[in-house]
A and B are shown apart, each in its own frame.
Chain A
Amino acid sequence: MDGGAARLDAHAHTAQNRTMLSFAFRRFLSAIPTLLILIALAFALIRVAPGGPFDTEKQIPPEIEARLNEAYHLDEPLYQQFGRYLTGLAQGDFGPSFQYKDFTVTELIAAGFPVSLKLGGLAMLLALLVGISVGTLAALRQNSRTDHVAMAAAMTGISIPNFVLAPLLVLLFAVTLRWLPAGGLGDGSLINLVLPVISLALPQIAYIARLTRGSMIEVLRSDFIRTARAQGLPGREIILGHALKPAMLPIVSYLGPATAGIITGSVVIEQIFGVPGLGRYFVQGALNRDYTLVMGVVVFYGVLIIMFNFLVDLAYRWLDPRVKL
């Protein structure tokens, strides 16, 4: 009898692992078309834009331009270029940069991404920590002064774009108060990242706080919270032990858009603060029509976001065991 139960249990576990694996596999398959569409769109858009990679103020002799075009296969029909690009990608090769002649795009990404990851990761962490705490606090003190102030601040945070916010912060903390450096990475210490991280995180903090407040209020009204109160659990334990997990569901769903927001935000913020991250390469690349660099960054971020969304789905499943993969 006992053995039977144990067997059943083991059976259930392998079954669970199997659904997990098949889920991962399904997600992998469905990611391929998404990625192809993304690459094709970026490829098309960038070629539609006027101008070519070797347009400069100085007139390049036509024969040299022809040689250049040939060297970079720009004289081939578009579909061949696209095919060539895909073949390269499949081997992990993003191609050479048109502008930084001595580097491949892969090398540029490898140089820029760690900086961006640090910036974006810290911003995300900060956004989650502060956003969730403020939102929870506001929910617990619903309709109190704290609540009203926090939500008004959040509303403001959402409505101010970060390219306005960042210069203001620089003006206040770097120029007037001289507490923090205004830009660059300096000696590489974290203090240089404080302002960029805050500028990047603020809109997300605001949004996450509002989301948390709403979902927390809703969760606190549910029957199982009443049960927890009837069990004599103190408020803190009810929040942490019973309410937080379900209240986090909308936040987890928002993580996807939040990452995208932080990535796009970092493009602007890195420019403003002179942080040598991927976003700066992207902007430079776009200005110089460095096709391969821009494409490389787009594809790289595309893969990253798809992977990230997969992780988010797993987290969702952990938070809500009712969700079927």
Chain B
Amino acid sequence: MSVQMAARPNDDPLLRVEGLSVSYPGGQPDQQTIHAVRNLSFVIAAGETLGIVGESGSGKTQSALSLMGLLPETALKAGSAIFAGRDLLSLDDGKLNQIRGSAISMIFQDPMTSLNPHIAIGRQMSRVLERHQGMSRRTALKVAAEMLDAVRVPDAADRLRQYPHELSGGMRQRIMIATALLCKPQLLIADEPTTALDVTVQAQILTLMHDLQHELGTAILLITHDMGVVAGLCDRVLVMRDGQMRECGSVNKVFYESQDNYTRELLAAVPRLDEVQPRRLAVVGDSEAEATADIDSRPVGDTMLTVDKLEVRFSAGRPGPFRPVQFLHAVAGVSLELGRGETLGIVGESGCGKSSLARGVLQLVDVHAGRVTLLGEELGMLDKQRLKQRRRQMQIIFQDPLASLDPRMTIADIVAEPLHTFFPTMSRTRQLVKVKAILERMGLEAGYMNRYPHEFSGGQCQRIGIARALIAEPELVICDEPVSALDVSVQAQIVNLLMDLQQDMGLALIFIAHDLAVVRHISHRVMVMYLGRIAEVADRDALYNSPRHPYTQALISAVPIPDPRVERNRDRTLLAGDVPSPLEPPSGCAFRTRCPLADARCAAETPGLRTAGESLVACHHA
């Protein structure tokens, strides 16, 4: 993507929003009114891309929904949004319906739930054209097929007969985009359009949006939390926090000369893929840089965990009288070693088996083949009783902090649970002393002990989850996407906390994430997985600076970098297509269906791991 700053007629903007406010009055007298958006003003010129960024609760999505008249009925709107001489905020549904889907259209985050699973794609698309352009269904379907072609959906005509569940996430989002563009809108509102997608697919979709904008001249209002996406795609940015605008300006101005504290802190809190940050991640609202916990100052001790050719498989569906059980090989022979105090990062897209690997190592799922040895003991050989004892030494932290905490237990009981299990004779008083100490270590007040999980924010819940994992002093902790559900500023705090704890307690960490930048920041070594196998393992810097496997290279080049100048001048290796279904992995090298280097040998022979440069790589041609 190159920098695009064409001159645009600025006197009459496409959309002028002034004093937009959205509030939700409390139903009961004792409930307070929630102000989701306060006094927001901005303009969008024809053909430009304005990004609205902010963390959760910043009001960015509420603003967009209010423009489309999609807010719940309880919402109160104020202000004006003038589009083509009409105020969108005061139009009734009937008038709005002439604009929605035709002059302004919108795409949403999750292309699975946003498309109707019960209706064929062609029908969903043709309805829009029949309604807005009075076309017959036949013509509408023809136009729909052409539009699918334009968003690079292969075999467009066949797709029209299919249902959303038959297509991959990336395809579905292309179909969403095609549907939104059917009536050649002047403004496209995109609400987190790539957040639910894998990073290589995100890169395809972003490139597509960029190209389409050039072809069609559609203005885009892009709502996102991802600074990297903004850096690549937007002309101007509007930063929001707590319903208010913090700053608005050209991308370069906001990224390089921001006048706003919050914006600067937010940018600093994002870990970057392209540079090592030998420092704690900056924390929003706390600009004092603390003592560094540089990764390289965390010493790595001797090997404590060995995983040898681990295989985990699940039966997919019941066996029928005429159908054998089908197996999904989630992990197909993975070996690794981990030293005391070391962090191994595991990255890969959905379906790569990273979470199954974690569960296999912890013996939380049936291990089909292979050995896991923790501190000299082979876990698969232990009886139930012994394994239970060993669980004290290995703990897991989950992605969704709230869901993993029992809503009916107090924080003290939740955190003390492992003590009950592993030290049944410990007195209640002693337990509470320990709970209090660890909560304090997590930066939580001791006064929280008698409260319940729902009273806490996502970040606090994750701290509670970490406290529970660490209270019995484990030696190995597996973090399964521990920060993926958190906002950038909270993510930075949790990552810092984990690194500090590791240093204090000498923990060995396996850190699973799909965010390559966070993994780079926290890991000593990084392993890239694809469809249940290792693609590449290497020391962190070797992997990121000189990736050897074509998949690693593509993955790294697909991650947007929150720096407009860097981001717009990168050479991208765009991968075609999506990750194949793990139920039917390709023969030979699993990556060959998307690999730019694939040849006949790749289809015939599964590459083993071998040394190339500083990496271990599974590729014939690396």
* Interface residue ranges, A against B (CB under 8 Å): 5, 8-9, 22, 26, 29, 222-224, 226-235, 237, 241-242, 245-246, 319-322, 324
B158 to chain A, nearest CB (A): 6
The 9 closest A-B pairs by CB, nearest first: A232-B101, A231-B101, A232-B100, A223-B113, A224-B116, A232-B97, A321-B163, A230-B106, A245-B118
The residues of B with any CB-CB pair to A shorter than 8 Å are 68-70, 93-94, 96-102, 105-106, 108, 110, 113-119, 123, 127-128, 131-132, 155, 158, 163, 165-166, 176, 179, 317, 320-322
Residues of A within 8 A of B96 (CB): 232
List, in ascending order, chain A residues with CB within 8 A of B98's CB.
232
With contact pairs A5-B158, A222-B113, A231-B128 given, residues A245 and B119 touching in the complex (Cβ less than 8 Å): yes
Which B residue sits closest to A4, measured CB to CB? B155
Chain A residues whose CB sits within 8 angstroms of the CB of B128 once the complex forms: 231-233
Closest to B320 in A: A26
Q: Which single member of A223, A230, A241 contacts B105 (CB below 8 Å)? A: A230
Q: A232-B128, A241-B127 are in contact. List 6 more A-B contacts (CB 8 A).
A: A8-B158, A224-B113, A229-B69, A230-B105, A232-B99, A232-B131
- Across the two chains, which residue of chain A brings its CB closest to B96? A232
Which chain B residues lie closer than 8 Å to A320 at the CB level? Answer: 117-118
For A226, give its contact among B97, B114, B165 (CB under 8 Å): B114
| Complex A-B: 27 CB contacts under 8 Å | A5-B155, A5-B158, A223-B114, A224-B113, A227-B108, A227-B114, A227-B116, A230-B70, A230-B101, A230-B105, A230-B108, A231-B100, A231-B127, A231-B131, A232-B96, A232-B98, A232-B102, A233-B101, A233-B127, A233-B128, A233-B131, A234-B94, A237-B131, A241-B127, A246-B117, A321-B163, A322-B165
B contact residues around A233 at 8 Å (CB): 97, 101, 127-128, 131
Cα separation A224 to B115 with both chains bound (whole Å): 5
Known A-B contacts A5-B158, A231-B100; A226 and B108 likewise in contact (beta carbons under 8 Å) = yes
Q: How far is the CB of B115 from chain A (nearest CB, A)?
A: 6
Would A234 and B97 count as touching, CB distance under 8 A?
yes
Measured in the bound complex, the distance between the Cα atoms of B101 and A233 in whole Å is 8
Task: With A230-B68, A232-B96, A235-B93 as known contacts, state yes or no: A321 contacts B118, CB within 8 Å.
Answer: yes
CB-defined contacts of B114 to chain A, threshold 8 Å:
223-224, 226-227
* A166–B68 CA distance with the chains assembled, in angstroms: 52
Query: Considering residues A5, A29, A233, A237, which has the most beta carbons from chain B within 10 angstroms of its beta carbon?
Result: A233
| Distance (whole angstroms) from the CB of A318 to the closest CB of chain B | 9
Q: Which residue of A lies closest to B128 (CB)?
A: A231
| A321-B117 in contact (CB<8A) | yes
- For B166, the chain A residues whose CB sits under 8 A away are 321
Given known A-B contacts A232-B98, A321-B163, A242 and B110 have beta carbons under 8 A apart? no
For residue A319, which residues in chain B have a CB less than 8 angstroms away from its CB? Answer: 118
Cα A80 to Cα B122 with chains together (Å) = 60
Q: How far is the CA of A324 from the CA of B99 in the complex (A)?
A: 39
Q: Are B127 and A237 closer than 8 Å at their CB atoms?
A: yes
> In the bound complex, do residue A223 and residue B163 qualify as a contact, i.e. CB atoms below 8 Å apart?
no
Residues of A within 8 A of B322 (CB): 22, 26
User: Closest residue to B323 on the A side, CB-wise?
Assistant: A22
Q: Tell me whether A223 and B117 are in contact (CB under 8 A).
A: no
Q: Would you call B131 and A229 a contact (CB within 8 A)? A: no
Chain B: minimal CB distance from A109 (Å): 33
**Set B93, B99, B131, B165: member contacting A321, Cβ < 8 A:** B165
Tell me which of A22, A230, A242 contacts B100 (CB under 8 A): A230
A224 CA to B116 CA, complexed, in Å: 5
Chain B residues with CB under 8 A of A5:
155, 158
> How far does the alpha carbon of A151 sit from the alpha carbon of B353 in the complex, in Å?
49
Question: Given A237-B127, A321-B118, A321-B163, A223–B100 Cβ distance below 8 Å?
Answer: no
Measured between beta carbons, the chain B residues less than 8 angstroms from A223 are 108, 110, 113-114
Residue from A8, A22, A228, A322 within 8 A of B117 (CB atoms): A322
Q: How long is the Cα–Cα vector from A231 to B101 in the complex, in angstroms?
A: 4
Report the minimal beta-carbon distance from A257 to chain B, rounded to whole angstroms: 23
- Which B residues are CB-close (under 8 A) to A227? 108, 114-116, 176
Chain A min CB distance to B58 (Å): 20
* Least Cβ–Cβ distance between B464 and chain A, in angstroms: 30
CA distance A242 to B115 in the complex (A): 10
Specify which chain A residues have a CB less than 8 angstroms from the CB of B105 in the assembled complex: 230-231
Give the Cβ gap from B264 to chain A, nearest Cβ, in Å: 35
Alpha-carbon separation in the docked complex, A8 to B123 (Å): 22
A220 and B163 alpha carbons, distance in the complex (Å): 20
Cα–Cα distance between A242 and B267 once the two chains are bound (Å): 42
**With the chains together, A222 CA to B119 CA distance in Å?**
14
Residues in A neighbouring B123, C-beta threshold 8 A: 241
Residues on A with C-beta less than 8 A from B93 are 234-235
Instruction: Give A242 to B120 CA distance when docked, in angstroms.
Output: 11
| Bound Cα distance from A9 to B114, whole angstroms | 26
- For residue A49, give the distance in angstroms from its CB to the closest CB of chain B: 38
In the complex, what residues of A have CB within 8 A of residue B118's CB? 245-246, 319-321
Neighbouring B residues of A29 by C-beta, 8 Å: 321
Could you tell me the distance between the alpha carbons of A229 and B127 in the complex, rounded to whole angstroms? Answer: 12
Q: In the complex, A324 Cα to B166 Cα: how many Å?
A: 12
Q: Please give, as numbers and ranges, the residues of chain B lying within 8 Å of A8 by CB-CB distance.
A: 158
Q: Nearest Cβ distance between residue B221 and chain A, in whole angstroms?
A: 13
B161 to chain A, nearest CB (A): 8
From A22, A229, A241, B70 is in contact (CB under 8 Å) with: A229
Q: Kindly name the residue among B108, B118, B317 whose own CB sees the greatest number of chain A CB atoms within 10 A.
A: B118
